Chain A
Amino acid sequence: MITIQSALTGLLLGGLYALMAAGVSVTWGVLRIINLAHFGMILISAYLTFQLASDWGLDPILTLAVTVPAMFVAGGALQWAYDRLGISELNSLLASFGLLIVIVQLVSNVWSADFQRMSAAVNPYATASVGIGRLVFPVTTLLAFLVAVAFIAAAELVLRRTFAGRALRAFAEDRTIASAFGIDHRRLGIVLGGLSGATAAVAGMLFALANALTPATAFEWFGIVFAVVILGGIGHLTGTLAAGLLVGALSGVVSVLLSPAAAPFVLFTAIVLALLLRPRGLFVRAAQ
């Protein structure tokens, strides 16, 4: 029973990994930019949620009114800058690694390296839980899962059904041809960067609801979420969701069966094996 409970909890937590990964995956797949600074944006959003809720007594979820527009602008500006500087795929990995380090240290200078958590007074969600039969789920985890699934489903619909979505897929397929057919890659990049910034804001809020914050968390995300992106198949949203859930469930089960300290060991070993067997991602059919 405990195993099932923890597998399910892990699965639900995996939704958050998937949401964090979605932004990285889409900008990588479509714009050929590996934006590690995305984890920095999630971190800033989490701290903003903490700060705004604590200072103004705002409901943490309402802080999205501030963080989403802010991160939309930040994400859009970042993609605009990448585009203007004409940076290559591998160099974007390095430059954004530098940016991530800068952000983490700045966050640490502003908010200190200590763990910080919203007090129960402003964050009613942290202690609430929902029981389903003999299984109990924290509200924060359920919320994170539902939001992640909703976001990814919506994004997938947009990609499949709308003109903008088709333009995006065409662009991911072959940017030169797509440009020749009148797709404005600069505007596309800014909007896409902005949207992925917005998901960072939501992911940051959801993380802050359930966890104590410390700047170094961003590096933990770097390891796990980067793996989710690749396992899901770069640019494949449903694959990302599935990979996130899988990774979450696995780490949940291992934490209970062995020990929480063993989780990274099993998890990363599994990731390495998965990558070696399916380097294009778990859910991507092998191309020719």
Chain B
Amino acid sequence: MMARGLVGIGLAVAALSTLSLYRETLGFPIAYLALLTTALFWVTQATSWNILSGYSGYFSFGQAAYVGVGAYTTAVLFGRHEWNFYLTVLIAAGLCAVLALGMGLLAFRLRSLRGEIFALLTLAVPFILAALARINGSIDGGQGIIVAIPDFPAALGRFQDFLYLITLLVAGIAVAVAFVMAHSRSGWALASIRDAEDVAEALGVATFRHKLWALVASAVIGGVGGSVFALQIGFVTVDSVFSLTVPLFVIVMSVLGGRTHWFGPVLGAVLVVLLQDRLSAMALLGWQPVILGAVLIVMILVAPEGLYVRVRNLWPRSRGSKTPPADLSEVDEQLSVVDDSVLVECRDLSKHFGGVRAVEGLSLQIRAGELVGLVGPNGSGKTTLVNLLAGSLRPTRGSIHIAGRDTTGLPPHRIAHVGVARTYQIPRPFASMTVRDNVAMAVLFGREPRRLAHARRLAAGHLAMVGLDHLGDAYPSALNLHQRQLLEMARALATSPKLLLLDEALAGLNPAEIDNAVEVVRRIHASGVCVVIVEHLLRVVRALATRVVVLDRGSCLADGDPETVLSDPAVVRAYLGKRAHA
């Protein structure tokens, strides 16, 4: 798959290069070559934008920053100081990488970073850089810089040929990078971030690292493109490279072609440049932004997934749905030996939200073979405890050790790799992936990562475990609540956890579904996974748990075997109020 695609991209680049290399033999007009060069510049920029914004869903208005940094690096160093042109391209790439690292380290560190805030941050960066270039005489100083023609092999023909070939090369590399990313772990990680970022993190995806690298890759590609663009325009001014047209163009192109697919921006860029060319031929250039804006609006409203994805979905999948045979061997290999070792150890654990003490001085040991029912009235700190164990929250005080490792303050994906998996009260599947890929995703990034094909086979096994194997090719939107909750469990299992945290996994189900879910949980426990289940239905807790922990106002009220604990007067009082007991 990967190799075939790369060969395809290589062949396309080779085919396009003949237009210049054999231009005279083919009788290809040089004016078209200029048009193609423009198209290829935009292919590079749109692809660069898409690597971060399309794949991960973090929208950027800052594409002009990379074009500007790239163009000015070449303009100043090559145009003014006559350094080697190719060296300036490399320096441009390096500067953009540094810029992106800086932006990413600052922005992605924010725990509460929202997409709109990121969009604004990226909007501000080109403004800052443009102002810097304008006031700094050693960069621009408001004059603009002339960029001469670099030396190039005479065999290539005219300067336009050279420009075309080098732009083609850059575009080819950009598309190849986007293709490889889309088909690697990185592409899966970014797609899961787009769908549900904190779920991805809890499943073991190192979201920070993947976002950062996507940002850097995007910036480097954009910067190299901008560097070559300086040759193309020949005269670099602040307004020509730092303008808002750049983000407008790349956003329209990517939205038009399709944001989730590597080929979308390529298609979009070619279409928009052709449209632009036709409009200028018809002397309608003043209407071009109107039409682009209208295209953006219409696409968002009618087909936000983009033309490429839309058209591709018209074809029935020729390969058919390849349902891989379930691989149950590894699922079943774990034997249900009663394991007595301590798996979880919380010491003096506290979590305060302002003045609210959600968890206060809790000390708790959980053994590997147990199935612990965590109960307590609303607000007693059950979900907070789950969030603390999974690392979604950091404790105010105290420590957590899981499987012998201190996990206090570790990011959630590291805790997932220690062997903790969780489900959410309200199921949160990755909407853009099939049910099987939702689970395969968890295998890919789990404690024991596998290759994709193997991961999909294992996923089928996990789906069989929860009884969803017949729905592997469906999308999560087609599932009912019960099935989504089972999917949550299958996905959590796929990370091969030692500890599974089920947060009200049975809420909202009817009695028959509850019985089914109870059976599934029992099976999971029997396969050797320690389970902590938060549940309000005492019938379920009684049926499942080997031990019950009752929380009340953040502290442990009772702890022991289900029968004793659930008939404890203090527990009844906490649940039902004082009068009920009296």
Contacts and interface: CB of A to CB of B under 8 A. Distances in A.
B128 A268 contact: yes
B59 A93 contact: yes
A227 B124 contact: yes
Contacts of A280: 112
Given A97-B251, A105-B287, A272 B116 contact: no
Interface string B98-132: 00000000110010111111011101110110111
Contacts of A226: 120, 123
B286 interface: yes
Nearest to A216: B244
A271 B128 CA distance: 10
A227 B297 CA distance: 23
Contacts of B106: 272, 276
A137 interface: no
A223 interface: yes
A275 B300 contact: no
B135 A109 contact: no
B290 interface: yes
B296 interface: yes
A269 interface: yes
A58 interface: no
B353 interface: yes
B1 interface: no
A101 interface: yes
A46 to B, nearest CB: 19
Contact of B286 (A108, A264, A269, A275): A108
B328 interface: no
A102 interface: yes
Nearest to A266: B131
B301 interface: yes
Contact of A288 (B127, B248, B297, B353): B353
B511 interface: no
Interface string A269-288: 10110011001100000001
A206 B224 CA distance: 44
Q: Which among B115, B135, B286 has the highest number of chain A CB atoms within 10 Å?
A: B135
A262 B128 contact: no
B286 A98 contact: no
A94 B57 CA distance: 12
A279 B119 CA distance: 12
Given A97-B248, A101-B293, A264-B130, 5 more contacts: A90-B59, A94-B300, A230-B116, A264-B127, A279-B114
Interface of A: 34, 85, 87, 89-91, 93-95, 97-102, 104-106, 108-109, 219, 222-223, 226-227, 230, 259, 261-265, 268-269, 271-272, 275-276, 279-280, 288
User: Which 10 residue pairs across A and B have the least CB separation, nearest first?
Assistant: A98-B296, A102-B293, A101-B293, A265-B131, A105-B289, A264-B131, A98-B293, A288-B353, A98-B297, A268-B124
Interface of B: 57, 59, 106-107, 110, 112-117, 119-121, 123-125, 127-128, 130-132, 134-135, 142, 244, 248, 251-252, 255, 286-290, 292-297, 300-301, 304, 353-354, 356
19 contacts: A90-B57, A91-B304, A93-B116, A94-B255, A94-B296, A97-B293, A99-B293, A105-B290, A222-B123, A230-B117, A262-B135, A264-B128, A264-B131, A265-B131, A268-B131, A272-B124, A276-B107, A279-B110, A280-B112
